[in-house]
Amino acid sequence: MPGNLNPANPVDVLPAGLAGAFTEEVRFENFLNSYVDGSSDRMTLVINPRRFFKLTRKLTAAQYTALFNFYKAHLIAAFFFYNGVETVPPFTSDPTGANPVGRYTVVFDGSWSDAVTLARSQGSFGMREVA
């Protein structure tokens, strides 16, 4: 039936050692209709906000390879991401994905960006909450 979507079924967890520093953005998606006279009609499209995460990290060669391989393997697949501030105890991660506290189901949002240097590289990408 059109309009029915299957929920995301994540099976992997982003390794905690590779997600050391990130920014979080909370958005309420809305509909905006602007008129010529400057007035507008606004309506929220969601009840709950959607979270977006942006990760930028300096990586050793082994970490870079591990993170890039994880990125390639999950380009269109959902996975779990633990927000360290929300976990109990704080800044812990469950590599099995069984603990729901602080866990988000996310997909990659946008493309991979990197800056490669001799000693360390820097990888950057975004993630978008889907469930």
Q: What is the pTM of this model?
A: 0.80
Q: Is the pLDDT of residue 42 over 60?
A: yes
- pLDDT for 77-108, tens place per residue? 999 999 888 888 888 888 898 999 989 999 99
Give one DSSP letter per residue of 93-125, joined into a string: --TTS---TTEEEEEEEEEEEEE--SS-EEEEE
Closest to 50 measured CA to CA, from 113, 123, 126, 112: 126
Distance CA 21, CA 34 (A): 38
Residue 2's pLDDT is what?
Answer: 62
Distance CA 107, CA 47 (A): 20
Domain extents in the chain: 16-129
- pLDDT for 66-84, tens place per residue? 889 999 999 889 999 998 8
Distance CA 49, CA 15 (A): 25
Q: Is the pLDDT of residue 1 over 60?
A: no
